[in-house]
Amino acid sequence: MVLTVLGPLAGRSFAITAKPNLLLLQPTNLPLLRLSLPLSLPHFSSSSSSCRLRSSIVFAAQESNLSVSNENETSEWLMQDFYTLRKDVEIASARVEEIRASAGLEQLEQEIANLESKATDTSFWDDRTKAQETLSALNDLKDRMRLLSEFKTMVEDAETIVKLTEEMDSTDVSLLEEAMGIIKELNKSLDRFELTQLLSGPYDKEGAVVYITAGAGGTDAQDWADMLLRMYMRWGEKQRYKTKVVEMSNGEEAGIKSATLEIEGRYAYGYISGEKGTHRIVRQSPFNSKGLRQTSFSGVEVMPLLPEEAVGIEIPEEDLDISFTRAGGKGGQNVNKVETAVRITHIPTGVAVRCTEERSQLANKTRALIRLKAKLLVIAEEQRATEIKEIRGDAVKAEWGQQIRNYVFHPYKLVKDVRTGHETSDITSVMDGDLDPFIKAYLKHKYTLAMASAHNLEFQLISFNVRLTGVQTLIHVVNMSKDPATFIQGAMPDIIGNTKEEFFASKLEMSTRIAQAQALRLIPLSVQVKLNLSLLEDINDDLEFCFKVAKESIIILPVELELLIDGFSRLKNFAVRDTPRSSHGN
């Protein structure tokens, strides 16, 4: 989460630092100050058991150079920590409940029982392949079951600590720390669990082949391709995948013209498939003595790493254009060049692959064909074509060139994904393989698109409002669809809390409402959090809470977040708004 307030706002003083790309408007002229808020994803930003927020961004205020007072007593902090922890535990508890509910525990148990009885059947091993499949399915289910009960145990442990602390007069720091640790761990597990739910594509479980090509632009682009290769290798290492550069063609001066990276490991393809597309860099050219600003492109293609036998499609010979690198001249006995590269083009779609890393021509051809098939399978999947021949070639061509992410090194630092709007200024970490936030944002984005199209909803019209007005909370759900049959509109009753305690308690209720809304397949695309600060006692705490609520409600996607804070009037009126994303534009 990016918006932070440093320290308790004693004396209503604010420290402000703004990201360079934030648009700051003079608050004096406007009742609402709108800040572009890069919204980190709900569950993936670390559950902030640290309420002393670590990021550097604070919102704007008129007296922009006011300093932060930070002279609180330890016990106050401890209490603060405790409140935060209690909130975290509550949120985690709701999350666990929700996940367990949506996982269909009973059904899961039933399925496990079914498979187990199958496995004990005497004829079970007659068909070895099928037996293996059943066993692996059984293991998957049992893993799920185990995880789900683990979640429950963990959250119960944390809850116990919270209760204990509440009953005790003094605060046991080590206990609190333990609970914080549990919650942190739990949130990570929950993140992972939810992600696997997002990875349900037919090839998502497979390894991945990443093919990087430098775009036009000579050495700069080749260097950029090399940087991307390193980024993906680092990412792979961080995920403990086995990465292997199987082919690399060096640039003349620096960098690479192309490289093929194989990533082995479960779900590697599922995670990284969204990296497919054109990656753009803006920086001062290190290869130019004048250090001019330079824009370069590199293309990234991702295919599942499929075992030969798994690619069970036949492509008619006449649809393939197979070309070999010519040794040149008269060929045959006249020449000995160990150049055995093979390039195969699927004529109807124009999809092409090249394979150079093998040492014999036949081996290159075989491998190229496997890659081509994998690529076509993925495209077919994307286009929902049941057969290769149904693939629309024009669509393929348009798609492969798409620019998906910008990496700006100069004049400011920013990595921004064009599809999801996810961004960060920590470009160093990204280049060092910290791609998870981007990958996760994309997966959610993809999931939402799929959901929207599956339910024939015009997703950009759906809105889901969470409004916090002082101690009142209102969840308002609007779902508009072009199809009258699926038109749903409804408002949920307000959740009202009159005291601060109730205010916090209402959060649980809200989570439930959100879950209900989701059960109705309402996909929140815009979340509005309205907060009357004048009614709040501890602005720091409540602001933080509002954001949490807002984030909580955006379980599926980094949706548009609008935070409207009234009642700041005597201080500042401001609002934080996620920048509109292009995907909403159509």
Partner 1 sequence: MIRIFPSLRFTSLLSAAKPLCSYSPAREPPASFTEAKSSPETNSLSITPKTPLFLRTPSHATSLSEVWKWHDWAKDLASSVEESSKNSEDVLDSVILLRELKWLIEDSIVDDPLVILHRSEISDNGEKNVKLRASLEELYDLWRQRIEKRRPFQYVVGCEHWRDLVLCVEEGVLIPRPETELIVDMVEELVTRDEWFKKGFWADLGTGSGAIAIGIAKVLGSRGRVIATDLSPVAITVAGHNVQRYGLEGMIEVREGSWFEPLKDLEGKLVGIVSNPPYIPSDDIPGLQAEVGKHEPKLALDGGIDGTDSLLHLCHGASRMLQRGGFFIFETNGEKQSKMIVDYMMSNDLKDCFSDLKIVSDFAGINRFVTGFRL
Please, what is the end-to-end C-alpha distance for the chain in angstroms? 28
Which range, of 11-19, 116-124, 317-325, 414-422, touches partner 1 by CB under 8 A?
317-325
Among 46, 249, 383, 460, binds partner 1 (CB under 8 A): 249
586 binds partner 1 (CB under 8 A): no
Residue 240 engages partner 1 in binding (rule: CB under 8 A): no
Kindly state the smallest distance separating residue 324's Cβ from partner 1, in Å. 4
| Choice between 143 and 339, CB closer to partner 1 | 339
CB of 340 to partner 1, least distance (A): 6
- Which is nearer to partner 1, 199 or 327 (by Cβ)? 327
Considering CB under 8 A, how many residues would be counted as binding partner 1?
31
* 323 is a contact residue toward partner 1 (CB under 8 A): yes
Nearest distance in Å: CB 265, partner 1: 16
Beta strands in 132-255 (DSSP E): 207-214, 242-250
What is residue 544's three-state secondary structure? helix
Q: How many angstroms separate the CA atoms of 302 and 435, rounded?
A: 15
- Least distance from C-beta 2 to partner 1, angstroms? 32
Give yes or no for residue 116 binding partner 1 (CB under 8 A).
no
Across-strand partners of 294? 283
400-429 binders of partner 1 (CB under 8 A): none
CA distances in angstroms from 341 to 79, 355, 500, 570, listed in the order given: 67, 6, 70, 71
CB of 323 to partner 1, least distance (A): 7
User: Is there binding between residue 359 and partner 1 (CB under 8 A)?
Assistant: yes
Query: From residue 365 to residue 394, what is the string marking binding to partner 1 with x (rule CB under 8 A)?
Result: -x----------------------------
Q: Report yes or no: 92 and 155 within 8 Å, Cβ to Cβ.
A: yes
If binding is defined by CB under 8 A, does position 345 make contact with partner 1?
Answer: no
User: What is the smallest separation between the CB atom of 261 and partner 1, expressed in angstroms?
Assistant: 11
Q: Which two tokens stand for residue 478?
A: 């609007």
Supply the minimum distance, in Å, between the C-beta of residue 333 and partner 1.
5
**From 327, 480, 488, 535, residue interacting with partner 1 (rule: CB under 8 A):** 327
**230 binding partner 1? (CB under 8 A):** yes
Which residues pair with residue 258 across a beta bridge?
A: 213, 249
Is residue 309 a contact residue for partner 1 (CB under 8 A)? no
Q: Is 363 in the site for partner 1 (CB under 8 A)?
A: yes
299 Cβ contact list (under 8 Å, min separation 6)? 212, 213, 215, 277, 278, 279, 400, 401
The token duo for 196 is 């696997």
Among 12, 337, 389, 410, binds partner 1 (CB under 8 A): 337
Which residues have C-beta within 8 Å of that of residue 3, sequence separation ≥ 6? 35, 37, 57, 58, 59, 543, 547, 563, 576
- What's the closest the beta carbon of residue 260 comes to partner 1, in angstroms? 13
**Binding to partner 1 by residue 245, rule CB under 8 A?**
yes
Single out the residue of 76, 127, 166, 339 in contact with partner 1 (rule: CB under 8 A). Answer: 339
Single out the segment in contact with partner 1 by CB under 8 A; choices: 86-94, 352-360, 368-376, 571-579.
352-360
Choices 62-70, 291-299, 338-346, 374-382 (CB under 8 A): range interacting with partner 1: 338-346
DSSP symbol at 419 = T
Do the beta carbons of residue 553 and residue 473 sit within 8 Å? no
Respond yes or no on whether the N-terminal peptide bond of residue 348 is cis (omega within 30° of 0): no
**Of residues 56 and 250, the one with the C-beta less far from partner 1:** 250
Long-range contacts of 307-313 (CB under 8 A, 24+ apart): 308/366, 308/370, 311/370, 311/373, 311/374, 311/377, 313/373, 313/376, 313/377, 313/388
Residue 508 in 3-state DSSP?
A: helix
Q: How far apart are CA 445 and CA 584, in angstroms?
A: 11
For residue 4, give the nearest of 63, 64, 48, 62 by alpha carbon. Answer: 48
- CB 332, min distance to partner 1, A: 5
Residue of 152, 193, 149, 171 lying closest to 84 (CA atoms): 171
* Angle, helices 128-167/74-102, rounded to nearest 10 degrees: 150
Give min distance, CB of 186 to partner 1, in A.
32
Instruction: Mark the segment that binds partner 1 (CB under 8 A) among 53-61, 170-178, 244-252, 492-500.
Output: 244-252
146, 192, 238, 244: which one binds partner 1 (CB under 8 A): 244
Binding of partner 1 by 335 (CB under 8 A): yes
Closest CA to 420 of 447, 438, 406, 408: 438
Distance (Å, rounded) from C-alpha 521 to C-alpha 97?
18
CA–CA gap between residue 442 and residue 418 (Å, rounded): 10
Binding residues for partner 1, rule: CB under 8 A, are 230, 233, 237, 244-245, 249-250, 322-324, 326-327, 330-340, 356, 358-363, 366
